[in-house]
Amino acid sequence: MTQERRAQLSPIAQLGDAALRLVGDTGAMFLFLLESFGRIFRSWGQFPKTVRQIYFIGVKSISVITLISLFTGMVIGLQMYYALAKFGADGFLGAAVSLSLVRELGPVLTAIMITGRAGSSMTAEIGVMRISEQVDALRVMDINPIGYLVSPKLAASIICFPILTAFFDLVGIVGGYLTGVLLLGGNSGVYWYRVSAYLKMNDISGGFIKSLVFGVVVCTVCCYMGYYTHTRRDAVGPEGVSQATTAGVVTSCVLILLADYVLTSLLF
């Protein structure tokens, strides 16, 4: 439908048009995910590409994850200590910090940080390849562009998101210890005892499942936005890539929070 035709539509028809596009995009994104997942295991040639992506998505994110998780843990430790001390329950600081990190904040904040750092570059990279005919070049060389470009990123995301989340949780708990125990004078032994006593396997596996889902969501959305940059209606060329990158990051963040709510209600 042309821009002029859309402008002529009544608001209700425009709403219907948007709803149809949303349903269409969701279906297309799901098929895109299925194809990219299926092509992970196509050949051994995917292995070196996946290793490169693990380095890019995982190893290069460690510094930013360390920084964010340390300060997140420190803020939680600070806030929780004051709140718990009012009820004489400051000994439960370790449990409060670890549970909030492992069940909620760890997976969500890690996913959002990786979206900002690696997700945006996935969209931009594939988008630039699309507008400079590199994706077409892959197709005419009979190399499936989804298998070549997206599948290694998906495999790397599935591997990296849970590991980085675990790392976030660990550093965050140490951050809570720094403020709650070393700065505000809480009991060190009690802190670590409460962490190990209250943190159950169910909490850890729940956080693990969340991070897996977030990894798949972020990679699929960001790669999809880049792959279909050329079909965008709002902008073309380099501007289209920038719009696709913004859309990829925003959609991923919204879906992370949405999926977090659904998963929390299902898992815990």
Partner 1 sequence: MTQQTTPDISLEGLTIGYGETVVVRGIDAVLPGGKISVILGGSGCGKSTLLKHILRLHPALAGRIVIGGHDMAKLDRRGMHCLRQRMGVLFQDGALLGSLTLGDNVALPLREHTRLSEKDVRERVLAKLGLVGLADFHDYFPNELSGGMRKRAGLARAMVMDPPLLFCDEPTSGLDPVTAAELDQLLLELKRRSDMTLVVVSHDLDSMRTIADHVLVLGDGRVLFQGGLAELEATQDEYLRRFLDRQALARTTPRLTMPPLDFKLMKRDCSGYLDEQQS
Which residues bind to partner 1, rule: CB under 8 A? 2, 45, 128-129, 132-134, 136-143
| Shortest Å, Cβ 225 to partner 1 | 19
CB closer to partner 1, 232 vs 263: 232
Determine the Cα–Cα distance for residues 98 and 89; give it in Å rounded to an integer: 15
Asked if 119 contacts 248 with a C-beta cutoff of 8 angstroms, the reply is: yes
CB closer to partner 1, 131 vs 209: 131
| Shortest Å, Cβ 151 to partner 1 | 14
| Shortest Å, Cβ 28 to partner 1 | 17
| Shortest Å, Cβ 116 to partner 1 | 21
For residue 93, which of 109, 75, 107, 111 has the smallest C-alpha distance?
A: 75
| Shortest Å, Cβ 129 to partner 1 | 7
For residue 218, which of 264, 178, 267, 251 has the smallest C-alpha distance?
A: 251
Angle at 222 between CA 66 and CA 150, to 5 degrees: 100
CB closer to partner 1, 53 vs 179: 53
Angle at 206 between CA 220 and CA 74, to 5 degrees: 95
CB closer to partner 1, 140 vs 201: 140
Rg over alpha carbons for the chain, rounded to the nearest Å, is 22
CB closer to partner 1, 16 vs 48: 48
CB closer to partner 1, 97 vs 149: 149
| Shortest Å, Cβ 44 to partner 1 | 11
CB closer to partner 1, 132 vs 196: 132
| Shortest Å, Cβ 155 to partner 1 | 17
